[in-house]
Chain A
Amino acid sequence: MIAIVDYGVGNLFSLKCSLDAIGAEAVVTGDAAVLRNAGKIILPGVGAFGDAARKLQSTGLDTVIKEEAAAGKPILGICLGMQLLFEKSYEFGEHQGLGLIPGSVVPMAGFIPAELKIPHIGWNALRFQKSSPLFRYIQEGDFVYFVHSYFAAQCNEFVIADTEYGQYLTAAVQNKNVFGCQFHPEKSGTVGLNILKAFAQLEDAPC
C-alpha cells in the first residue's frame, strides 16, 4: 500500500485518483502509524517551502519520513514535496528541508534568461541523466507537466532527468530509495501514470 502524506498542503484528490487509475492501493493520511505500516510513501505539496516544512515539523511527520527513508522504504516527493527532500531552500529566506538528498532549492530568476516567464508552467520534455527504475515505462523526450519557480541545484550526482527552459533544470532525482519529481506525474497524462506505475511496482521495504 502507498501512503500519501496529508499535512494540510495542497489538494490530494487528483493524486489519489491517478493511483486508483493504475490499480495501486493508496491511502491519504496524516497518521504516523499508517505511514510506518505503508509499503511506500508519496510526499506531495504545493505552495511555499517554509510553510510546508513547518507543517511537516509541527505534525512530527518529518521524523517519520526520515526514519522510514533510512529504513529503505521507497519515498516519492512530488513538486514541492520533491523540494522538501533536499537539505535547504532559499525561497523567501533560508529553510531546512528533510535532508534526504544533498543539495538545495534556489530561485530560477537570475539563472534562466530574463525573457523567459517565471513560473515555468506547462509541458516540457525530459532528458535522462541516469537510468532509474522510475523510468521503466517511459522514454527520453517524453513530456510532463511543470509548475514551479524554484529548482533543485548542487545535486548533480542525484539528478536522473532534467528539462530545458533556457537552462537545464532538475526534473527528477533519486538517492537510493528516495525519489523526487519536480513535475506533476498525476497531471502528466499517460507518461505521468507510467511513472507512478513504476514507483508503485518498486519492491516494498522489509518491515
Chain B
Amino acid sequence: MITKRIIPCLDVRNGRVVKGVNFDGLRDVSSPVALAEFYSSCGADELVFYDITASAEGRSLFTEILTQTASKVFIPLTVGGGINSLEDFDRVLKCGADKVSVNSGAIRNPDLVAQAAKRYGSQCVVLSADVKRVDGVFHVFAKGGREDTGMEAIRWIRRCVENGAGEVVVNSIDTDGVKGGFDLEMLDAVCDAVSVPVIASGGAGTIQDFIALFQHNSKVDAGLAASIFHFGEVKIPDLKQAMAEANLSVRR
C-alpha cells in the first residue's frame, strides 16, 4: 500500500539554508546540497526547497544549488517561492525540480495553475495555500501569510484543483510555529473538498503530532515540517519507526 510521506522543507536565501540547523556530523549546516543529501539518507520521502530570495542574483544562486542537489539526491524534489509565470516553472524544472509549488503567483494570476498543468502535467503542479481563520471562516493569505486575500480558502483550493493542481499543501497560519499539532479541522475541510493528495503543513512539534495527523484522517497523504527536523527535535528515522509501530504505512 502507498506510504504516508514525510517531507522536510528547506528555506533558501542566496543559495544558503536560512534557518539555523543543528546536526551532529554535518559540516556545512547551511549548505542546501549537504542537508538534502543528509535528509535523503535518513529516509525523507521528498524534499521541498523554498526560495525566499528577492534579488536576481540570489535567484541564480538558487537554481545553481538546485542543479547540484538534483545531481546528487534521487528522491522527488519540489520547488517553491517566487513562482509567478510559466518561465519560472521552466527555469526550475530544467534544473532538476520534479514538482513546482505555486502560492501568491496563483493568486495574482489565476490562469497560472491551468497553464502550467496543460504544459507540464498536473503531477508537476502543487498548490500551496496559506490559510487562516478570519471570523471563523478559512481565508487564503498571500505574500507569505501577511495579506488577507478575502477569498474563502476551500473554494479557492477546489478551484485550483479543478484547474489542474495535482497536489495541495495546506499550511495553517493558525497552527504554524505553535508546535501544538497539525490543524486537523482545516485539513478535514480540505480533504473533503478535493480528491488529489493533501500535504499537511504547520504545527508539528513532536512525533506524536504526525501519528495523530495520519490516524485522524486517512486522506492526508503527507506531513511537511521545517525547523523540528532541522533542529533534530524530530528525527526522521525515529518518526518512521514510531509510525510503523502505530501501523501506519511507511517507507523504510
Contact = CB atoms under 8 A, between A and B. Distances in A.
Given A17-B70, A123-B45, A145 B121 contact: no
B23 interface: no
B249 to A, nearest CB: 9
B95 A13 contact: yes
B195 interface: yes
The list of the 8 closest CB pairs from A to B, nearest first, reads A143-B251, A17-B71, A123-B251, A122-B2, A123-B3, A147-B123, A124-B2, A13-B96
Interface residues of B, number: 30
Interface string A171-207: 0000000000000001111101100000000000000
Contact of A13 (B76, B94, B222): B94
Interface residues of A, number: 31
Nearest to A11: B93
Interface stretch (A36-44, A54-62, A89-97, A113-121): A113-121
Interface string A143-163: 101110000000000000000
Contacts of B98: 14, 187
A140 interface: no
23 contacts: A11-B93, A13-B94, A13-B95, A13-B96, A14-B70, A14-B96, A14-B98, A21-B72, A117-B196, A117-B221, A119-B166, A121-B123, A122-B2, A122-B45, A122-B221, A122-B222, A123-B3, A124-B2, A125-B1, A145-B76, A147-B123, A187-B98, A189-B75
Contact of B197 (A11, A122, A125): A122
Contact of A188 (B1, B5, B74, B196): B74
Contacts, number: 79
Interface of A: 11, 13-14, 17-18, 20-21, 46-47, 117-125, 143, 145-147, 164-165, 186-190, 192-193
Given A117-B195, A187-B98, A123 B5 contact: yes
Contacts of B121: 46-47
Contacts of B122: 119
B171 interface: no
A46 B76 contact: no
B123 A17 contact: no
